Structure 1
Amino acid sequence: METSTDRVLGNRLQLMQPRDGYRAAIDPVLLAAAVPAKSGERVLDLGCGVGTAALCLAGRVAGVAVHGIDLQPALVALAVRNAAANGLADRASFESGDLLGFKDRAFDHVLANPPYLARATASISPNPIKAMANVEGDAKLTDWVACAIAAAKDGGSVTFIHRADRAPELRACMMLGLGSLHLLPLLPRADAAAKRILLQGIKGAPAGFQECAPWPLHEADGTFTAATQAILRDAAALPLRAPA
């Protein structure tokens, strides 16, 4: 597999990833920024790929331990190499496996950037890496959410990034085991409809739902907003709720 090395978080983090097929964009960076992790806590990244979200979080929050699982061994191998290349091997671990069989139940936070497309309605790419990243396989969205909820401790957060048009489905799944849901619409620009959303819930919290003020990603001229630049270049957090 041919690879390239790219940099994120204002060159703080270097990532080796496949040159062809799925390549990490801003979604996993935004996802990592939304996780309210603190030093000493354990975080699980479901469908970790080359480790982008997990390593962004470990790079942003000192003392956080991250673990990732992905179905594709080749991507997991790159995630391990990326952790070492960024001096995070002592706090980042990755394994190849199916989330349908994942049994660890001791995480303070769980994050996921699952395939966005349901298989029944998707046009599947001939590139297997891209196909598995974009289109649901045996694990459907309900399975992703169920695994995330099961892996989180009581009081722990579960955070997903997904397509805006699947927000009602994602919300319904998360309501089955999480409370205090907070949804953040991510707008391409202030005058456009959301294409992505972040949705976060707390295990064991009372039922509830709040939609946060929309977050424009770009200015009218196509440049990132200052707030988005702070996340992508300065490793700022993207809190979905007020600090406890």
Structure 2
Amino acid sequence: MTQAGDITEDRLLGGRLIVRQPREGFRIAIDTVFLAAAVPVRAGEKVLDLGCGVGGAALCLLAREPEAQVTGLDLQRALVTLAGENAKANGFEGRFSAMVGDVRSAPPRIGPGGFDHVLANPPYLEQGKATASPKELRRVADMEGEARLADWLQAAITFARDGGSVTFIQRADRLQGLLAGLEGTCGDLVVFPLWAGPGKPARRVLVQAVKQSRKPMTLASGLLLHAEGGGYTAEAEAVLREAAALRLRPA
């Protein structure tokens, strides 16, 4: 990723954000935008983005709430470097900082209970149950490494304060693992499907929980991404282009 041709410069949120990212490997997609939109952040709150990559989710969150303070953590040093450059390019240099680290052994700066909100978009493919890409950058982005989904969930719970939220986006077929990892230490869970289109199944789900809450789980109606004909619905467009918040729970 040292050559100019290996990096692309892209736009998010209707052109509001400039993002430089590798041409290969993890590429920011709508999942990143919806994850950021789902975090119920308020001015002055601290947010941790586990597996932040080049900072896509963090930047989308700050575009909606510029007075938040976001810390990112990622294993790949090259991506952390790009995240810092992206923060500066979008005027969030003082609000977003990223560091190199593993979700299983984070740097001391990331302390237990230190964040109001934790968000994560872990690799979607489970080891032993999918074929890994022969390309290293794509494999690292898509396939779980030594850190499994349970490790990501435990890290999120550890770093969130009591009463703080943890928010994940994941493949719908891994919902059982998400719920199992949150059971016991979190409550007020909400499962929010992202429906692919009318009459089509949800391939992705957002799951949010509150640490140490005892409230029961809610299965939300979710969001319809595509209307008849294939275009995005007005609700999806508002999130993707206008930086609108995605409210998982009723007001």
Q: Provide TM-score, normalisation by structure 2.
A: 0.95
Partner of 2:117: 109
Partner of 2:47: 43
Structure 2, gaps ≥5 residues long: none
Partner of 1:141: 149
3-state SS, counterpart of residue 28 of structure 2: coil
- Aligned equivalents of 1:95, 1:111: Cα separation in 2: 16
Partner of 1:189: 197
CA RMSD of aligned residues (A): 1.0
1:172 corresponds to which letter in structure 2? A
Structure 1, gaps ≥5 residues long: none
94-103 vs 76-85, greater mean Cα deviation: 94-103
TM-fit CA distance, 1:62: 2.2
Partner of 1:199: 207
- Structure 1 contact 160–200 (Cα < 8 Å) conserved: yes
Matching residue within 157, 163, 170 for 2:171: 163
- Aligned equivalents of 1:112, 1:23: Cα separation in 2: 15
Partner of 1:61: 65
154-163 vs 165-174, greater mean Cα deviation: 165-174
Partner of 2:218: 210
TM-fit CA distance, 1:190: 2.1
Partner of 2:14: 10
- Aligned equivalents of 1:143, 1:179: Cα separation in 2: 19
Matching residue within 19, 26, 39 for 2:30: 26
- Structure 1 contact 24–52 (Cα < 8 Å) conserved: yes
1:104 corresponds to which letter in structure 2? G
- Structure 2 contact 25–140 (Cα < 8 Å) conserved: no
TM-fit CA distance, 1:136: 0.5
32-41 vs 186-195, greater mean Cα deviation: 186-195
1:92 corresponds to which letter in structure 2? F
Runs of 4+ displaced beyond 2 Å: none
Q: What are the superposed Cα offsets for residues 41-62 of structure 1, whole Å, 9 maximum, x if unpaired?
A: 0000000011000111011112
TM-fit CA distance, 1:176: 3.0
2:176 corresponds to which letter in structure 1? P
Partner of 1:78: 82
- Structure 1 contact 28–52 (Cα < 8 Å) conserved: yes
- Aligned equivalents of 2:116, 2:65: Cα separation in 1: 14
Q: What are the superposed Cα offsets for residues 20-67 of structure 1, whole Å, 9 maximum, x if unpaired?
A: 222111001000000000000000000001100011101111200101
TM-fit CA distance, 1:207: 4.4
- Aligned equivalents of 1:127, 1:79: Cα separation in 2: 22
Matching residue within 129, 143, 149 for 1:121: 129
TM-fit CA distance, 1:208: 1.5
- Aligned equivalents of 1:126, 1:96: Cα separation in 2: 24
3-state SS, counterpart of residue 196 of structure 2: strand
- Structure 1 contact 175–207 (Cα < 8 Å) conserved: no
3-state SS, counterpart of residue 86 of structure 2: helix
3-state SS, counterpart of residue 17 of structure 1: strand
2:73 corresponds to which letter in structure 1? I
